[in-house]
Amino acid sequence: MSEVDDFLAQTMPRQVEAEKAMHNGDAGPRLAMWSHGDPVTLFGAWVSRSGWEEVSRTFPWLASRMADCFRLRGGAGGGRREW
């Protein structure tokens, strides 16, 4: 297995669970995956923030506006998968 494959095998399950949780109102798993040290920046469709203090307050706010995640689509490296 390549380094990329190893990385994806370790990261993608956590990412999928973090996204499902986020879309069901729980920002905790996403917050756990992000660097807590500066510099850190969030570029988003709704808001953009800079610095861990701002970013860490923003994810719970975003999660509170999401609900009912039933399917995620994605695929690293150009592939497409449904979870």
Domain locations in the chain?
Answer: 3-67
pTM to 2 decimal places = 0.73
> Quick one: pLDDT at residue 72?
52
Q: What are φ and ψ of residue 48, in 5° steps? A: -125, 140
- CA 66 vs CA 11, 47, 50: distances in Å: 23, 14, 22
Q: Which residue has the higher pLDDT, 19 or 45?
A: 19
> Is it the case that residue 26 has pLDDT exceeding 90?
yes
DSSP state letter for 78: G
Q: What are φ and ψ of residue 67, in 5° steps? A: -165, 160
Contact present, 67 and 23 (Cβ < 8 Å):
yes
Angle, in degrees to the nearest 10, between helices 3-22 and 52-63: 60
